[in-house]
Amino acid sequence: MDERILLAVDDSKASVKALDYLAAHVADQPCDVRILHVLPPAPTAGEAPAVVTAGGVEAARPFLERAVARLSAGGVDDDRIEHGFLSLHPDVSAVQGLIDAAREHACGTIVVGRNTLPWHRELFHHHVSDDLVKHAKGFTVWVVE
């Protein structure tokens, strides 16, 4: 497996699970990993600010740094790990943003975490991972739950 993998993270437990899963499965493989911390879009005029805005990059940086360290501790060579932020535009969905980022960074695989919910909450909950699986044509998608 000599390829590039995009790992999408946020500050969730699901992201940590995806990170650990990825480390366990690619530590001895010659692949590059691009970790992108996904930030919500900045508010438009008249909207309440999002939890993480432009200044929120600094608030999100510690999680991203811990993610890089965790992947490295899991056995992935430091020189094979890249990281950054994916700031979503208000007109672009998280799914399209991830697909575009995967294309931009020449990644063949996209890895995302997914929170497990009780069955009665699953009925009315929307998962980005579901849409990613539907729309990421030409990519391998790993959904870690």
Predicted TM-score of the model (pTM): 0.83
Which pLDDT tens digit goes with each residue over 124-139? 555 678 889 999 999 9
d(CA 95, CA 99): 6
The pLDDT assigned to 89 comes to 82
- CB distance 52 to 60 below 8 Å: yes
Q: What angle do CA 140, 3, 141 make, to 5 degrees?
A: 15
pLDDT at res. 110 = 97
Cα–Cα distance list, 144 to 13, 103, 124 (Å)? 11, 21, 20
* Mean pLDDT within 48-74: 76
Task: Give the Cα separation of 54 and 32 in Å (integer).
Answer: 28
Which residue in 111, 120, 119, 122 sits closest to 144, CA to CA?
A: 111
Q: What's the pLDDT score for residue 106?
A: 96
Q: Please give the pLDDT value at position 117.
A: 58
Tell me which residue has tokens 């501790």. 73
Question: What pLDDT shows up at residue 44?
Answer: 60
pLDDT band for position 114 (cuts 50, 70, 90): confident
Structural domains of the chain, with CATH: 7-105+113-144 (3.40.50.620)
Six token digits for residue 22: 């990825």
pLDDT attached to residue 123:
56
Instruction: With a cut of 70, say whether residue 108 has pLDDT above it.
Output: yes
Task: Kindly tell me if the per-residue pLDDT of 49 is higher than 50.
Answer: no
Q: What is the DSSP string of 80-128?
A: GEEEEEEE--TTS-HHHHHHHHHHHTT-SEEEEE-----HHHHTT---H
> Using CA atoms, how far apart are residues 25 and 109, in angstroms rounded to an integer?
13
20 pLDDT higher than 80: yes
Question: What is the share, in percent, of the chain residues with pLDDT greater than 90?
Answer: 58
